[in-house]
Structure 1
Amino acid sequence: PFACFLGLFFVFKKKREKKKLRNMGELVTRTERG
């Protein structure tokens, strides 16, 4: 699942660029944690 990792990396980058996506980042982290 290298593509998944890349996707997550992109999400993190976007999150850093746009703090507005902080909610999205938190959601992703929650989903990753399960």
Structure 2
Amino acid sequence: MRRVPNVVIIVDANFESTAVQEALRLEIPVFCHC
């Protein structure tokens, strides 16, 4: 990727916990559909 995304969409927050943590650390909004 050339730039940071505007938002991160997660389908399974338990499986993608690392992605959620990284997005929150970079202050990227996270949308989780559980």
Answer whether TM exceeds 0.5 for this pair.
Answer: no
Normalized per residue, which structure has more strand? Answer: 2
TM score, norm. by length of structure 1: 0.43
